[in-house]
Chains A and B, each alone.
Chain A
Amino acid sequence: MSMVRVDALYKSFGANQVLKGIDLRIQEGEVVSIIGRSGSGKSTLLRCLNQLELHDSGSIEINGKRLDGEAMSARQLSEHVGMIFQSFNLFPHRRVGENVMLAPMVVRGESREAVEPRARALLESVGLGEKFDAWPGQLSGGQQQRVAIARALAMAPKVLLCDEITSALDPELVGEVLRVLEKLAVDGMTLVLVTHEMRFAREVGSRVVFMHQGKIHEQGDAKRVLDDPQTPELKQFLASTR
């Protein structure tokens, strides 16, 4: 059974057809990098996977559960899919530890005593054990993004979606976030990332999906696709990123 299964997915914004029939299977533990030009529909695809956008037609199954529109509540969905954003989106009025503990407490009704050790361990695992009581505004971008990862993991999702999560960071802070992702990958987390980090996609990713004009134009084993692109569009895209 695939962890993520997308069939004939279509999505338009008004007259603008953004996804034009996406078929995608992702196995448990796979690390899939989605690459492609700006505007090719990468973010929209991710956002459909957790219903931040509702698709027009086609089907999405995550961990065997079918998502269609209102069928699955935000709460149920959060047990399957987590998401990290480019802009971190930490809750600025809550301390780092509270950011991590909030969802398990509010959504699952867990007690603070039950959640706190887990939250501390998660922060430890992203290298921020000592920041439990800090305010998000006091952290660097790289640290904030690592908190966001810990916060997402607190809901123990099966799949983690990452939308250009290093794009807003100063270059010297990108590495610390990628290392956390790499550790997750090694631990067997299923990752779907929209990324411009070709080296990361090649070294850590198991598969690369190239999107072009709302379709999957080329995909396959990460090293194969990046080292030996078949279509002229992908060749051109890769040339433009070097």
Chain B
Amino acid sequence: MIDFTLWDILGHLLRALRWTLALSIIAFVGGGLVGALLTWWRTSQIKALQLLVRGYVELFQGTPLLMQLFLIFFGLSALGINLSAWTAATIALTLFTSAFVCDIWRGSIEAIPAGQWQAARVLGMSRLQTLRHVVLGQAVRIAIAPTVGFSVQVIKGTALASVIGFTELTRTATMLNNAAFMPFTIFGLLALCYFCLCYPLSRYARYLEKRLDVHGSR
């Protein structure tokens, strides 16, 4: 057993925090981009695309993230496609995120009353023009709070990447504990790290929810 001071532990955790952050941000941005594309397809008038996206969303919402991670890491490797733990985690979290934000954003678009579409239509706007100039501006206001709220799920989801051997925050804590065996201190600090990342985000989401709740006035 090695002796670690509290500062050593914290130092190691904070360095590992970078990877958790990097993974979260990439997954969130990547998931947002894929999610935007999916939302566009989901709200298109092409039935096949709608169904395809619906299936995709159901699949990722209806299965555990850990299973998705295993499927991409171990499953693909069995097929001869070897991904690093980092790549596999990034892909899995991106797909996971895209499915959830797609669902949030679709709901936000559908929450815009039909009267808005009709008013735009009788003014001569096409579907795309209506989406762009009338619907999205309002849908974003509905979507922003749940989207920020969901980012917390992404951060917590990155902890699962430790299982396939990606050295982010949780795996670092586990390794530290194997060496130092100070579970209470180490995992306590680990929890604190996640809390410091997540709590401001959920507070911010709640603040946005309150502030944007007043429909139609700014």
Q: Which residues of A contact B (CB under 8 A)?
A: 50, 52, 73-79, 81-83, 85, 87, 89-94, 102-103, 106-108, 135-138, 148, 151-152, 155
Contacts and interface: CB of A to CB of B under 8 A. Distances in A.
Instruction: Determine the interface band of chain B, counting residues with CB < 8 A from chain A.
Output: 20 to 34
Contacts of A81: 122
Contacts, number: 79
Given A91-B134, A135-B217, A155 B124 contact: yes
B123 A152 contact: yes
Given A79-B124, A106-B129, A107-B123, A137 B216 contact: yes
Contacts of B125: 74-75, 103, 106-107
Given A52-B118, A138-B217, 14 more contacts: A50-B122, A74-B126, A75-B125, A78-B122, A85-B115, A85-B118, A89-B118, A91-B119, A91-B137, A93-B137, A103-B123, A107-B129, A135-B218, A137-B215
Interface in B86-142: 113, 115-116, 118-126, 129, 133-134, 137-138, 141
Contacts of B115: 85, 87, 89
24 contacts: A50-B122, A52-B118, A73-B126, A74-B125, A75-B125, A78-B124, A79-B124, A81-B122, A85-B115, A87-B115, A89-B113, A89-B116, A89-B119, A91-B116, A91-B134, A92-B215, A93-B138, A103-B123, A107-B125, A108-B124, A135-B216, A136-B216, A152-B122, A155-B123
